[in-house]
Structure formats: C-alpha cells, structure tokens
Amino acid sequence: MSDSSEDGAGKAGEGGTGSLGGGSPDAAWRGAERMRDAFNEHVVDPARRAGEAMRASGERVAQNGSALGTTIIDQAEANAREAFAALRSATGARDLTEVMRIQGEYLREQGQRSMEQAREIGQLIMQFGREAIRPAEKSEEPKREE
C-alpha cells in the first residue's frame, strides 16, 4: 500500500496534477497535521478516556469491596457479641426451662438480625451498581457539550 502512495505522489509531483505532490511541502505538512489531529480526536482521545474510566471504575470497585467487607465484619462481630451474651445468660440460668427460653429468644433475635443484615448488604450492592453506571453517563455528558 505504501508503494502505490509513493508512486502516486511521485507522478503527481512530476505532472503537477496530483493533490499531494503538486502543492507546496507546507500544504503536505498541514494535511499530515490534520490527519494526525483527526486520528487523535477519533481514536487516541476516546481510548484514553476509556482507560481513565476503567481505572476510576477499578478504584471504585476496590473502595466498594472494602466497604462491603467492613460491613460484613461489623455484622459478624455483632452476631458473635450477641451469641456470647446469650451464652452468659444461659450459664446463669436456674433450670433447663430458662435455658430453653434464652436460647429461643436468641434464635428469634438472630433470625431478625440476619434478615436486617441481608437487607443492608443487598442495599449496599444495589448502591454500588448504581454508582458503577453513573460515571459512564457522566463521562458522555462533557463530550456532548464540546
């Protein structure tokens, strides 16, 4: 392909009828600059923006993963604290009936706690999903304004 363009440029320069060879070197230079600018605008800049968006997205994923991990650890800590509190109560019980009552209360409260914790985790995950979509929409907005 480069051979034919060199031949065309040579013929145009000799005959004076071609668009590349017939003009001044400055015109050829300006044409090359326009092609470079167009390439940058249509290929390089979008690729750079995509790379920056991916990097920012990766940072958000790491932050969200950290927040989710911290929440799960906090929930596990609360569950362990409640389990030990129930065990302490059971060790101070006077009879088997009281132990069964303490255990029943603990299980009922733990079931409610588990549902609330699952709801909290679900809400965090939905929030992270919304945040993951939002930056893509924002990155397109400035492009439309330009």
Dist CA 74 CA 126 (whole Å)? 19
pLDDT of residue 136: 54
pLDDT of residue 23: 64
pLDDT of residue 139: 46
pLDDT of residue 46: 87
Dist CA 80 CA 119 (whole Å)? 19
pLDDT of residue 130: 85
What are 87-121's pLDDT values in tens digits?
Answer: 999 999 999 999 999 999 999 999 999 999 999 99
pLDDT of residue 45: 83
Dist CA 18 CA 10 (whole Å)? 9
Tokens standing for residue 75: 């929930």
Q: Which residues of the chain have pLDDT under 50?
A: 1-19, 139-146
pLDDT of residue 17: 46
SS3 state at 16? coil
pLDDT of residue 74: 96
pLDDT of residue 22: 56
Residues 53, 133 contacting (CB under 8 angstroms): no
Dist CA 50 CA 144 (whole Å)? 16
pLDDT of residue 75: 96
